Amino acid sequence: MKERKPIGYWTEENTIIELKLVTNELGHFPTGIELKNMNKRNLGHAITKNGGYPYFRKIFGYELKRKPDGYWTEENTIIELKLIIKELSHFPTQRELYNMNRSDLVSAMRINGGSSHFRKKMRYKPLQKPDGYWTEENTIIELEANIKELGHFPTYTELENMNRSDLERAITINGGVSHFKEILGYETKKRKHIGYWTEENTIIELEAIIEVLGHFPTYSEFENMKRRDLHNAIKNNGGLPHFWKIFGIEVTERQILMSKIASYVGKRGKECEIIVKDLLMEWTEAHNLPSPEFNVKLAKSKIIEFVCEGNKRIGIDVTNTKSKNGGAIRHKWKHKEYQNHLDELWIVVFSFLFTPEDFIKLNQKSPDSVKVMSIWQFIEELELIPDEDYKDKMGNYCKCTFHNKDELVKNISERGELSNALRLCSDKSQA
């Protein structure tokens, strides 16, 4: 694994030292793309943070190819664009211009109305991002381009002034400013202080999200935005129905019931992790092994709930999948990037949807280093005998798959208590 520089390493002095090594290796001052290809993104971020590429080019004695003040009028921007279009045979994308070291032209377009303005003026079809474009990865790519131009991490105001509301929205729905600052090596604000999450501050934070999304966020959107802090604040200050009422959102009794179910689903997942954690603690203690590590981040945004050290380094991931097709299970071995950090990955499933034959089929499809098992098989693997209370808990969490959602909602409505309804989950889910 690549050794990380200590916090505070990337001063201007150390940036110059690292740049000298790269410049000597390449024979010229590096571009941002070259640093990325050399796996030296941290150096790129340090350049941006400590003054920008023009500043360091000047220090290293490289000529700055800069147009005279006042050059970038709309007319001259069109002239420069035509030369690029003649070379490419199409209107350039922002990424192409950066690759061609034409960030000056990118800036000129933004100053004079933006890329869409020039596409329209030069009779090119407006270019929109395709559905699904704004992933975390593409948000980072777009952010890096803006940072390269500005010389620092952009504020929301700067993005608005640059007509980049699309990027502003992408940042918001993919984790927020602090999340991307952390990824790109910038200092982030400290967590909210104790006592911050009053009803008033919860409303203020919600208003900011609603302004971006155009609607009150769903549970999935809170998860995708990595805003569990806000979702928890809502639960602690009266719950979703309370805030729906504050924001004037009309809801049916069924929607209120479904919100209770959604809250239960989140709680159920956490409770299942606690069960596995307790079992692992008992197992490691019995075998004189180090205590397991919890919530281990193996790669960017990829977390394994538990990692145990013995003769092997084994990661344990817990799932409450509600789908018989096993897509959520396959996702864990395809996208967790465990293989670079673990000898084995165990996927522990709390669900009666799967028969022993289903687990055999899943293990036949999975890599050799992956074991998929029910919670009951997990207990057998560890050779543990849990008490009856734990067995009852595990049975209840395996039973409720919500394929019988209509019956569940009916039971909640009739009994007025979520826990009673959950215990009455239909035996259909055990098929």
Residue 427's pLDDT is 31
Buried b (16+ CB within 10 A) or exposed e, 203-220: eebbeebeebeeebbeee
Residue 16's pLDDT is 92
Identify the CA nearest to 267 among candidates 297, 295, 228, 218: 228
Residue 373's pLDDT is 93
Distance between CA atoms of residues 233 and 217, nearest Å? 14
Residue 404's pLDDT is 46
Residue 414's pLDDT is 53
Which H/E stretch holds residue 388? helix 388-399
Parts of the chain with a pLDDT under 50: 1-2, 402-405, 412, 415-431
- What pairing do the DSSP bridges indicate for beta strands 293-299 and 302-309? antiparallel
Q: What is the CA radius of gyration of the chain?
A: 27
Q: Which CATH number fits domain 270-395: 3.30.450.20, 3.40.50.620, 3.40.109.10, 3.40.1350.10?
A: 3.40.1350.10
Residue 255's pLDDT is 64
Identify the CA nearest to 115 among candidates 87, 84, 141: 84
Q: Using an 8 Å Cβ cutoff, are 221 and 177 in contact?
A: no
Ramachandran class of 303: left when φ > 0, alpha when ψ lies in -120 to 50, beta otherwise: beta
Residue 97's pLDDT is 76
Per domain, the residue ranges of the chain are: 12-59, 74-121, 136-183, 270-395
Residue 192's pLDDT is 62
Q: Using an 8 Å Cβ cutoff, are 299 and 182 in contact?
A: no
pLDDT in tens, 214-257: 678 877 778 767 777 888 888 778 778 788 878 777 766 666 66
Residue 429's pLDDT is 32
